[in-house]
Amino acid sequence: MEFLDAAHGDCCLIRWPGHAMLIDGGPAGTWRRSLKRRLNDPDDPVRSFDVVIVTHTDDDHIAGILDLMQANADAHDDHRPLPYAIGELWFTFPTKPPAEATPNEQDAYGASLRQGNNLAELARKLRIRWRAADLVPGWTTDLHGLDVTVLAPPVEATERLATMWKWDAEPAGFTGSTRRPDYGPYNAASLALHLEYQGVSALISGDSRGSVITNGLLRAPHLTADDALTVNVLHVPHHGSGANSRPEFFERIRADTYVISTVATNRHGHPHPEVLGWIVGSRAKEESYRLVFTNPPAASVREQLTALQRGRCFQIVEREPGRASVIAYPSSLAASMLP
């Protein structure tokens, strides 16, 4: 399981014997900088995917997938063999901006809509099976031994994408972040998945909210009302945003490896300091686990991590300079990407 350098976005490559899955492609530039380079690694190429998944249509998730599909479309138009085989495409997207969006928001939503529609057109042109209706909480499938469970989005999130979501009040008794929960219509409709292969499990969060993911796990059911769930890899929701997680999320879902996909220069300040504190605070001081960063953290994040590490056993892992990805599982492997 590899997380690529996707700057402030997400791009995850998952492989199991004879099969592969690509989840998100990062923002513009990811294809050229890391994704194309990784897939064409002469020592370890990946040219065939059982499934390509776009969690939602934000640019930092969809742009690299558009580039991948365009590479196939260009080959198709030139009557050349397609460079990449894609079995299915999984994604859902809206058909118009939220009705109550401001003009600036209309522009932002419009960009996502254009990208979603472009992806749909490429899928049709290349005759790739496009799966959307099945992607609701509780839907499961077996992909050649890889068990996939959809945890999010809730059906009401996809149905309400044409309406601007309002901020809801926090539940009574909540203590923690002062940030308002993320009810943005596209993030609210982000896919989240539970994956398991021969006892190895991962939780892919996209930009979903922790409470939505927890509800999906309870419904699956991979989680019971009174117990915590441990996975091998937890992709931390929304690049470590405090608007998408709460302390109880990390208390209910624990991991051997926590992956934070972002870059130090991102304009949102991800990962937010409270999220790092919640992760570490959910674990006993003597517990061993890893925090994996797809890019070197900002100086303020490093300072916080140094303070959090005092008296604790967790490790900090960063993608090595010049490599296209960092390995999240198995933890014993070094990144094997081209320099």
Q: What confidence score (pLDDT) does residue 97 get? A: 55
Query: Phi, psi (5° rounding) for residue 14?
Result: -120, 130
- Of 325, 318, 277, 323, which is closest to residue 298 (Cα–Cα)? 318
Four-residue CA torsion sign, 69, 260, 94, 159? positive
Residues 6 or more apart from 276 whose CB is under 8 A from it? 240, 291, 301, 304, 305, 308
CA 316 to chain centre: 20
Q: Which two tokens stand for residue 112?
A: 């996502």
SS3 call for 173? coil
Fold of 2-327: Metallo-beta-lactamase; Chain A (3.60.15)
18: left (phi over 0), alpha (psi -120 to 50) or beta: left
Asked which of 50-64, 139-153, 175-189, 274-288 is least confident by mean pLDDT, the reply is 175-189
List pLDDT tens digits, range 162-214: 443 333 333 333 334 456 655 565 667 789 999 999 999 999 999 998 999 99
Taking residues 35-48, report their average pLDDT.
97
Of the pLDDT bands very low, low, confident and very high (cuts 50, 70, 90), residue 324 is very high
Weakest mean pLDDT among 1-10, 135-144, 162-171, 226-235: 162-171
Contact 319, 295 (CB under 8 A): yes
- What is the Cα–Cα distance from 43 to 47, expressed in whole angstroms? 12
Tell me how far apart the alpha carbons of residues 204 and 184 are, in angstroms, rounded to a whole number. Answer: 19
Judged by average pLDDT, the poorest of 45-49, 148-152, 186-190, 215-219 is: 186-190
Q: What is the pLDDT of residue 99?
A: 56
Would you state the pLDDT for residue 52? Answer: 98
pLDDT at 265: 86
